[in-house]
A and B are shown apart, each in its own frame.
Chain A
């Protein structure tokens, strides 16, 4: 069973539908205690970093406990940015801090911001979450803020500048794009996660 965290940042329907399509069992926990028996956690989300404030306190404690037991987590878009220390989008709102660095706004060097549409990911090192993804594969992005490229970066993407599009540290992973909106390639990423959460 995979827990899909609902913290009011966008609707969960499309992520839920995509997980259903790959045959994964999904539940939306109504309280932190519901995470006790799950095999993995997905933190989705679109919108403002300030929305992650809803995860502070008991939710954060419960999520950290699950990770601490070696169960996998996947952050999608805003859910990936939340794994970092924070974001310039909401300077007074702390991130989970599992990954070093702060998220910042795309500088828009001769490109439009927000970054909306299909773009390639350049895989820099092996990552279990992008296993089986062919070079040159494109994914659907929609965001204005990005995470910095660091040692945790599995793949980077270019939009006026380089940013981290796939991150992994231990069993914690994040993707800046939307796997639930990225066709077959996106379903491959979700299948990889479901496999980790078996």
Chain B
């Protein structure tokens, strides 16, 4: 039976992981390759590097980070943040990324999904959707949640699938950073509407939040960042908890 995936997100700025550095004891874990290595040893199923570097050297800096993280890892690695063109995607994949995650660029030019799927295969193309509840619908936002994209999340996910996306990375803007739990209504709505896997993101606070998103939320994978920086909630403990609740996970060593 297919396992539910646990994905760790490394938010990287200028080559350093930026979330979680306020945990005093983990200051040294600000190096993405070191943190990736730790998660890998704990049994993480996949990694996402979300690059929020804001310099003109972005593409080269991102490639360096990806190369360093990918060097010792033999699990899937996705890269997002600042993938605006086919060249950006190619640079990330050449550096060792297995998948690229498109967000704002896909909204601006949905054809980019198809172009990249044709070149690298659908399995390499993740469409990231940032959604916010507005009444009884889920509005899509671009530019890190700052600009309304005039699209509805379920419809956009369907279109992304039709255009060749291999997975949807779905983030609840309402829950992001709140630790109030994933938005299971949003996740279930999108997951039920598409055939491709949906990765839930935003709001992970405790172990039970993951149980909820894999059951009520019908998620195929769940992504979190800061929760894994906390030594009390490592990947191994999470998987043990999920297994105890009858959710299929890849065994931890």
Contacts and interface: CB of A to CB of B under 8 A. Distances in A.
Interface string A99-125: 000000000100111111111100000
Contact of B96 (A13, A111, A142): A13
A14 B5 CA distance: 20
Contact of B250 (A17, A114, A138, A181): A138
Contacts of B94: 11, 13
B195 A117 contact: no
A197 interface: no
B76 A47 contact: no
Interface string A116-140: 1111100000000000000010101
Given A21-B74, A117-B221, A181-B74, A136 B121 contact: no
Contacts of A11: 93-94, 120
Nearest to A187: B74
Residue with the highest number of chain A CB atoms closer than 10 Å, among B4, B74, B167, B196: B74
B98 A117 contact: no
A159 B3 CA distance: 11
A88 interface: no
B99 to A, nearest CB: 9
Nearest to A13: B96
A192 interface: no
Contacts of B108: none
Interface string B135-179: 000000000000000000000000000000011000000000000
Contacts of B201: none
Contact of B75 (A10, A17, A183): A183
Contact of A17 (B1, B4, B70): B70
B197 A181 contact: no
A117 B121 contact: no
Q: Provide the main secondary structure of the chain B interface.
A: loop
Interface residues of B, number: 30
A117 B214 CA distance: 14
Contacts, number: 87
Interface in B167-218: 167, 195-197
Interface residues of A, number: 37
A180 B64 CA distance: 21
Contact of B45 (A111, A118, A142): A118
Nearest to A116: B197
B74 A117 contact: no
Contact of B1 (A108, A114, A119): A119
A196 interface: no
B27 to A, nearest CB: 28
Contacts of B122: 114
A18 interface: yes
A117 B120 contact: no
B3 A116 contact: no
Given A13-B96, A14-B96, A142-B166, A114 B123 contact: yes
Residue with the highest number of chain A CB atoms closer than 10 Å, among B40, B123, B167: B123
A112 B74 contact: no
A111 B2 contact: yes
Interface string B76-98: 10000000000000000110101
A116 B122 CA distance: 11
B3 A119 contact: yes
A143 B2 CA distance: 13
Given A46-B121, A112-B196, A118-B250, 16 more contacts: A10-B121, A13-B93, A13-B96, A48-B121, A108-B195, A111-B2, A114-B196, A116-B123, A118-B5, A138-B251, A158-B1, A159-B2, A181-B98, A183-B74, A186-B74, A187-B74
Interface of B: 1-5, 40, 45, 70-71, 74-76, 93-94, 96, 98, 120-124, 166-167, 195-197, 220-221, 250-251
